[in-house]
Structure 1
C-alpha cells in the first residue's frame, strides 16, 4: 500500500507526463504545419502528416489512461519509445522526399536538423520528474543516431569534410560535428536525468512535509500548525517546559447507556459525527486537541504557543460546543433519535507541556494539577447538575469585556475530589 507521500508524488509524475504528452502533440502539430510550408513533394506531406495525426490520436488516448491513473509507467515508457521511433525515421522520410537512394547520397541523413527536435523532446521528457525517461531517451538517441551514421557511411558516395562552411553549404558532412552533437545530447540527457532526480527528491520532501502538516491539522488549529512548521528540532525531542494554559474536558453524559442501546456500529458513527463538529469549534477558537478519551475530549488553549486570550478562547469554545450540540440534537430528534447532553469543565493554571515518551514514540501533551482540576470540574457537573463549570482562576484571566457577556452563577467554594485545595466553582449558563 503506497504512502500518502508516494501517492501525491505519483500525481505530480502523472501531471508531468501529461505535460509531456501535450508538448509532443504541439510539436507534431507544428511539424505538420511546417511540412506543408516547406515540403518539396506530396509524399513528404502525406507521410509526415499521417504520422503526426496518428501519433497525436495515440497520445490523446494515453492521456485518458493517465487521467484515470492507470498504466502510468507504461505510458511514460511508451512515450519515450514513440520519441525514439520518430527521431529515427524522420531523417529517412526527409531523405526519401528529396530523391532517396537513387538520387541523393546517404550523407543527407546526417545533415538534417533533427537534433533540434531531439533536444526539445528531451527537455519535455524531463517534465515527468521521473529520471528514467530522459536517461533512456538520451541513451536511445545516441544509439539510434550512431546507427544512422554507420548506415550512411556504407554508401560509397558518402562525403566528409572538416570545414563547417562546406558542411553547411555543400554536399559533404562534418562527421566530427555530428558525433559531438550526439555526445552533447547524451550528456544533456544524463544531466537532465540527474536534475530530475534532484527535483523529485525535493518534491518528495515537500510533499512529505505537506502530509505531515495535514496530519497536524487533525490535532492543532491552523495557526498553531504554522508555528510548528517553523519550529526547530529541539521542539520534537522528549522533554517539556512549564507554561500557563487553559485545560478543557468535555464528556457525553450517560454515554455507557447510550452505547449499550445503539450497539458498536451506531456508537462509532455517533462519535465520529460528534467529534467532527466539536473539533471544528475547538480549532476555530485556537484550541489544541490533546487526546480523545473514549467519548470525552481533552483540549488545551495556549499550547504550544501561549497567548493572553487563552482563557477567553476556552470559554468561547465551550459555549460554542453547547450551542452546536443544541443544533445537532434538533437534527437528531427530527430523525427520531434521542438527544444527548455533555458536560464541560475548564481550569486555568500551570502545567508541564511537551513531548512525553521516547524519540521513536512521542506524545505531545500537558500534565500537572491543572489537568486534574479540569477533569474534576467536568465530573462535578453530574453531581451539581450543571453542564458547564469553570474555575475562578479561569474566569479571572478572561478579558473584562468578555466577562460582561457571561451569565454565571457561583456554586460555592468546593473541594475537588482527590485534592486538598479548594477552588471556587462557577457555572456558566448558555
Structure 2
C-alpha cells in the first residue's frame, strides 16, 4: 500500500491550482518553475506504482499461495489502472476528473482493507478486520501527500479518508454477522460486563478506539497540511530568488551575480567610482539594413549582440544597455575589481576577434562583413538606481560621454578601437597584461565633442570594410 501513498502524493501535485489570492501564488515565475516538476513527479509516481504493484502481487502469492489471493490481485490491477488514468488526465491546475480519480484511489484502498475477501472461507468475525490495524497504511498516504506541495490536498486526503473509514465502520457494524459463542467464551474467561471482556470480545468493533483513530488522523492531516503550505512557500521563495538571479545574469557577468547575491549593501546607494566604459556600434548599419527584410535585420542584430554580450560577460563586465545596433558595457560595476581597465581593453580586443571569426563565416556564405567601432575609456562615474517605481541601475558621468565620443571617432581615424590615454595609463598601472597595448598608435591633440580640452587617444587600425 505504500506505493499508493506515493501515487496519491504526486497526483495531488497536479490537482492543485495556484491561488491568485494566495501570496504563494503571486510569483508567476515560481509557478512556472514548479510546473515541470509536478508533471515529472506524476509520471515517476505512476511508474513507481506499477513496479510496487508487481512486487506486492508476487509477495502475496509467496505468503498465501491460494486461489483466493486473486481477489487482492484484482485490487492491485484496479490501482494500476487508476494510476494510468491519473497520468492521462493529470494536469497542473484544478481538475474535477483528476480529483475524482484521486478519490477513487482512496476508495479502492478502503474497500480492500475493510471488506472481507469474498473468495476466502474465513472463520473470523468481520469486526476482526479492524483489529489488524490496516488503517495505519493511510498515514503513509497522508505523509506522501505532503510531497504534492498542496496543503489543501493534504487536508482533503485526511477528510476523505476519515469519512470513508467511518462509513466503512458503520456499514460493517450494521451488516456484521456476529459469532455469539465467541462473545460468551470471552465473558466466561474474563467475567461478564467487565472492560477487559469488552476489549477482548472478537465481535466488538471497539467504536471508541475507531473514533480515536479518525480524530488523530484528522489532527495529523491538518498539521501536515500546514507544514506542506510552509514548504510550498519556501519553494516559491527560492524560485523567486532564482528568478532574480536569472534577471541579474542578463546584465551582470556570473561572478558579479554571485557577489550581488551575497552583498548586503543595496545598489541604490549612490556613489562615485572609477570604472571602465565601452561603447560598440556597427559601422554603416543604416546603409546595410536599407531595403533588407526586417526579420533578417533583427536576426543579424541578435547574432551580433549575442557575440558581443558573451565577450562582455567573459571579461567580468556589466551589460549596461543595448543601443540599437550597438551596446554599452561597464567594467568595475557594481563593485570595483583589481583589473577593470585591463578587462575593458581585453574585452574590446576580444570583440574584434569575435567579429573577425564571424566575418570569415559570412564571407563563405557570400554575406557582407560586419564592421564595428569600439570606444573605451576609464574614469570617474556616478553609480546608483534611478527612477521611482521602476528602478534602473545607471552609470552616468563624463566618462560615459567620453567613451561614446571615442566610439564615434573610430570613423574619422579609420580605427576599430579608440582608447583614451586615461585607460591606457590605468592598464599600465594594473600591470596585468601590458602586451595588450602593443598594437595601438598614439594620436595627440584630439578634440572631443563636449569637452573643452583636447585629448590624447590611442587606436588600432580597422581591418574590415
Q: Same fold (TM over 0.5)?
A: yes
Deviation track 1:328-358 (CA, whole Å, cap 9, x = no partner) reads: 1111122221111000000101100111111
> 1:178-203, CA deviations, whole angstroms, 9 ceiling, x for partnerless residues?
22122222222222221111111111
Query: Which of residues 218, 222, 229 is equivalent to 2:250?
Result: 218
2:359 corresponding residue in structure 1: 329
- Out of 197, 209, 226, the position equivalent to 2:241 is 209
Q: How does 1:28-177 map to 2 (within 5 A)?
A: 28-39=53-64, 41-43=66-68, 45-60=69-84, 62-63=86-87, 73=95, 77-78=99-100, 80-96=102-118, 98-99=120-121, 104-154=124-174, 155=176, 157=178, 167=199, 170-177=202-209
Distance 2:28 2:363 in 1: 41
What's the CA shift for 1:16?
3.9
How far apart are the structure 2 equivalents of 1:243 and 1:371?
12
The equivalent residue for 1:256 is: 286
- Aligned residues of 1:91 and 1:112 also touching (Cα < 8 A): no
Match of 2:441 among 378, 390, 409: 409
Task: Give the 3-state SS of the residue equivalent to 1:235 in structure 2.
Answer: coil
Q: Which moved more, 1:153-162 or 1:192-201?
A: 153-162
Residue number in structure 1 paired with 2:331? 301
CA contact (8 A) 1:301 1:314 kept: yes
In structure 2, C-alpha distance between the alignment counterparts of 1:62 and 1:303, rounded to whole Å: 52
Partner residue of 1:196 out of 200, 214, 228: 228
The total of aligned residue pairs comes to 422
Partner of 1:5: 30
Q: How much has 1:6 moved relative to structure 2?
A: 1.5
Q: Contact (CA 8 Å) 2:270, 2:383: kept in 1 or not?
A: yes
Point out where structure 1 has 5 or more consecutive residues left out of the alignment. Answer: none
Instruction: Note if 1:377 corresponds to 2:438.
Output: no
Residue 428 of structure 1: aligned partner? 460
Q: TM-score, normalised by structure 1?
A: 0.89
Contact 2:280 2:407 in 1 (8 A): yes
2:266 is matched with which residue: 214, 219, 235?
235
**Alignment partner, residue 386 of structure 2:** 356
Alpha-carbon contact 2:150-2:232 (below 8 Å) kept: yes
**Structure 1 residue 111 displacement after superposition:** 2.4
The answer for unaligned runs of 5 or more in structure 2 is: 1-26, 187-192
**How far apart, CA to CA, are the structure 1 residues paired with 2:293 and 2:156?**
59
CA 263–27 in structure 1, closer or farther in 2 if over 3 Å, else same: closer
RMSD across aligned positions (CA): 2.9
Deviation of 1:24 (Å) = 3.9
Deviation at 1:391, TM superposition (A): 0.6
- Equivalent residue, structure 2, for 1:274: 304
**Pairing 1:400–2:422 present:** no
Whole-angstrom CA distance in 2 between matches of 1:92 and 1:40: 22
Deviation at 1:123, TM superposition (A): 1.6
Please report how far the alpha carbon of residue 39 of structure 1 lies from its aligned counterpart in structure 2 after TM superposition: 3.8
Task: Report deviation, 1:318.
Answer: 0.5
Alpha-carbon deviation of 1:109?
Answer: 3.6
1:292-337 CA-to-partner distances (Å, cap 9, x unmatched) read 1111111000000111210000111101100110111111122221
Task: Please give the TM-score of this superposition, normalised by the length of structure 2.
Answer: 0.83
Post-superposition CA distance 1:79-135 (Å, at most 9, x none): 5323311222113444535547xx553313422332122111222222111223222
Which residue, out of 317, 324, 331, partners 2:347?
Answer: 317
Give the conservation status (yes or no) of the 8 Å contact 2:35–2:92: no
Q: Hey, what's the Cα distance between the residues in 2 that align with 1:33 and 1:223?
A: 55
Give the corresponding residue for 2:7. none
Distance in 2 (CA, whole Å) between partners of 1:255 and 1:165 is: 98
Between 1:280-289 and 1:221-230, the stretch displaced more is 221-230
Shift in CA distance, 355/422, structure 1 to aligned 2, threshold 3 Å? same
Q: In the superposition, relative to structure 1, how do residues 94 and 106 fare at CA in structure 2: closer, same or farther (>3 Å)?
A: closer
Q: For the structure 1 residues 379 and 409, does the alpha-carbon distance in structure 2 shift closer, same or farther, using more than 3 Å as the test? A: same
| C-alpha spacing 1:82/1:32, structure 2 compared with 1 (3 Å) | farther
